[in-house]
Structure 1
Amino acid sequence: MKAVICSKLEGPGALAVGDLPDPPPGPGQVVIEVKAASLNFPDALMVRGLYQVKPPLPFSPGAELSGVVVAVGEGVERPRIGDSVIALSGHGGCAALCVADAARTMPLPKGIDFDTAAAFALTYGTALHALKEVAAIQPGETLAVLGAAGGTGIAAIECGKAMGARVIACASSAEKLALAREHGADETIDYTTEDLRARLDAIAGKKGIDVVFDAVGGPHTEPAMRALGWRGRLLVIGFAAGEIPKLPLNLALLKERQILGVYWGDWTRRDPAAHAKNMEQLVAWMREGRARPAITERIGLDGVADALERMSGRRVLGKVVVNP
């Protein structure tokens, strides 16, 4: 089968498109003919050996995909051969065929095409879990989203709006903020040209920001946390800026602010029933038009290395879909 192959952990530039043996399903697994996969920031980390999950070499990037089941392993009753599914494979999606645990698949929802299906589970699943289970955001609260034009940022905007929050999108260019507004942001801040803390304070008023959704890290985390009001919550999603910030802990003590980690992948394994309910909610929002993955590019396998390089440099908007 054709696949994007990572044979050494030297970043996107070391990726190559080549041939790998067709994978067999193990017990509890299925093989999926990949119709679409989507790229996420963890893929760019994984090919450098910098992500918490480290597949054995060689492997293909691509943590989420959609396609048709072509083989099933021992003990698998659902899905069946011929079923169209969404899968969270962890890696392997940037290939003609991908192995996934049957328990990590869900039926392709009616009325949702393969590209859209491949672009929503990881980012929207992360955003909804962060806002619902971790932050317990309430209608009327104010949510600031850092990195608002990325796949997870757009998902956070739409999930926040669907949950009744006022959403402030924070990003690094006018183009990115325009995309955030298209997906429902109430206010926008360009943190490369504006004082993030001062603008957040001005928008939120005396009450302060209730929740910060931070997928960026770096120099933006501390000013955003300083803008949190009484018992405000900082959601630690990731570090797209490439720098893990070091925060003065007196900022947590003051106003009883909370610093909350979000590890959606592990949570889905610990509470699969709640994860399934969240997926049902997200599919319903998609059908209502309240959740719309921002697919900005469609590429073949030969475009994956360049897309991941641009993603590493935060030069990608929304979601990139791979059609093998």
Structure 2
Amino acid sequence: MRAYHIEAPGGTARLTDLAVPDPGPGTVRVAIRACGLNFADLLMQKGTYQDTPAAPFTLGMEVAGVIDAVGPGVSGLAPGDRVAVYSGQGGLAEYGVFEAARAVKLPAGMTFEHAAAFQIAYGTSHMALDYRARLQPGETLLVTGAAGGVGLTAVEIGKLMGATVIAQARGADKLEAARAAGADHLIDASEDLRARVLALGGADVVYDAVGGDTFKAAFRACNPEARLLPIGFACGEVPQIPANHLLVKNLTVIGFYIGGYLKFRPEAVTQSLTTLIGWYLAGRLNPHVSHVLPLDRVEEGMTLLRERRSTGKVVIRI
């Protein structure tokens, strides 16, 4: 089979021919049909992601496909089942072996491309805003990097939860994508974020996927008792938070990493995905996939992420 594989620590990812793996106890083998790309895939290639697997490994964190074999001890899943898997790795390949507990059956009305683009982006935003930040109807949510894979889902879910959503992104096309996802107010990344947000009444919850100066400006635009979620650091700078400033407005900075819940509270992820799939089937969620590329163009997909030329998700069709 073909796989987008890293052979050694610090090595370059490239398409490689590997043996098709066999499922072991508690696992299923999936004939992969689609894999969503994530900014974390770029970090894994550099070895700077907090959950970078030990080499050798195959990139690709979220997949959708058809089970073609099951290992001993697996119940409730069978060959022929359409599934989505938050795999963490191994998705950019023609086949993958994954823990059965991570496989979620797909409804007939969900495409493989949407399922592959759905889990991390929507799961991250829903759990961050609902489970962690406790976003309430009528509050104001600020989303930075609002046209990215997770940013658009935060806009969409924030609106579904009854918030007023302020979206920040760079350029007219990306701001239009945020508007289409439900944003009430749009701020270009070239504008003074703090001034614009304060003019709109301030932020009660901040969902920041950019970091650096953007986080600092959002921090200064918070209302008393606001909650801040540092979701990602696309600018490359991890912000340092002045703890004394938290006291002045009684602010809360909330750590959140969805992959961690798979290890110590997986039922929270399952409950979130159940809610999200229900919203999808009801037509309340509209996954935004800006590019669908074949496996032999995976490098092109990575470049789209690296250069921030995508809106929503980039999906590799396999």
TM-score (norm 1): 0.95
More deviation, 93-102/70-79: 70-79
SS of match in other structure, 1:98: strand
| Cα deviation, residue 285, structure 1 | 1.3
Q: Does 1:276 align with 2:270?
A: yes
Matched residue SS, 1:308: helix
Q: Deviations over 1:45-68 (max 9, x none)?
A: 111111111223222211101000
Contact 1:151 1:318 in 2 (8 A): yes
| Percent of matched pairs sharing the same residue | 46
Runs ≥4 residues deviating over 6 A: none
What are the superposed Cα offsets for residues 86-141 of structure 1, whole Å, 9 maximum, x if unpaired?
11111111110011110001001231111111110111001000001110010000
Shift of 1:174: 1.4
Asked if 1:316 corresponds to 2:310, the answer is yes
How does 1:110-149 map onto structure 2 within 5 Å? 110-149=108-147
| Kept in 2: contact 1:300–1:323 (CA 8 A) | yes
Q: Distance in 2 between matches of 1:3 and 1:61?
A: 8
Matched-pair contact (CA < 8 Å) for 2:141–2:206: yes
CA contact (8 A) 2:142 2:206 kept: yes
Number of aligned residue pairs: 318
| Structure 2 counterpart SS, 1:241 | coil
**Structure 2: gaps of 5 or more residues:** none
Structure 1 residues 10 and 301 mapped into 2: Cα distance closer, same or farther (>3 Å)?
farther
The aligned counterpart of 1:301 is: 295
| Cα distance in structure 2, aligned partners of 1:54 and 1:223 | 30
- Give, in whole Å, the separation in 1 of the partners of 2:80 and 2:284: 30
Q: How does 1:257-272 map to 2 (within 5 A)?
A: 257-272=251-266
Matched position secondary structure for 2:277: helix
* SS of residue matched to 1:314: coil
Q: Confirm whether residue 197 of structure 1 aligns to residue 191 of structure 2.
A: no
- 1:69-148 to structure 2, matched below 5 A, reads 69-148=67-146
Q: Is the 8 A contact 2:9 2:54 kept in 1?
A: no
CA distance in 1, matches of 2:219, 2:62: 31
Distance 1:56 1:260 in 2: 28
Alpha-carbon separation, structure 1, partners of 2:184 and 2:8:
44
CA RMSD of aligned residues (A): 1.4
Indicate if the aligned counterparts of 2:291 and 2:310 stay in contact, CA closer than 8 A: no
Question: Structure 1 residue 231 and structure 2 residue 228: aligned?
Answer: no
Shift of the alpha carbon at 1:289? 2.2
Instruction: Report the equivalent of 1:2.
Output: 2
- In structure 2, how many angstroms separate the alpha carbons of the residues matched to 1:51 and 1:309? 18
Do the aligned residues in 1 keep the contact of 2:9 with 2:56 (CA within 8 Å)?
no
Q: 2:263 & 2:150 partners in 1: Cα distance?
A: 20
CA distance in 1, matches of 2:187, 2:9: 36
Moved more, 309-318 or 85-94: 309-318
Q: Secondary structure at the match of 2:254?
A: strand
Mapped to 1, the partners of 2:59 and 2:266 lie a distance apart of: 24
- Cα distance, 1:168–1:123 mapped onto 2, change above 3 Å: same
Is the Cα contact below 8 Å between 1:44 and 1:309 reproduced in 2?
Answer: no
Opposite residue 4 of structure 2, the aligned amino acid is V
Select 1:216's aligned residue among 210, 215, 232: 210
SS at match of 1:44: helix
Q: Which residue of 2 aligns with 1:26?
A: 24
Given residue 319 of structure 1, which amino acid in structure 2 is its aligned partner? K
SS in 2 for 1:24: coil
Residue in 1 that maps onto 2:250? 256
Q: Which residue of 1 aligns with 2:49?
A: 51
Q: How much does 1:7 deviate?
A: 2.4
TM, length-normalised to structure 2? 0.96
What is the distance in 1 between the residues matched to 2:26 and 2:60?
A: 20
Q: More displaced, 308-317 or 69-78?
A: 308-317
Shift of 1:9: 5.1
Residues 160-185 of structure 1, C-alpha deviation per residue, up to 9 Å, x if partnerless? 11111111111122111111111111
SS in 1 for 2:46: coil
| SS, match of residue 120 in structure 1 | helix
SS at match of 2:128: helix
Gaps of at least 5 residues in structure 1 are none
Query: Shift of the alpha carbon at 1:78?
Result: 2.5
Q: 1:10 deviation in Å?
A: 5.0
Name the SS of the counterpart of 2:217 in structure 1: helix
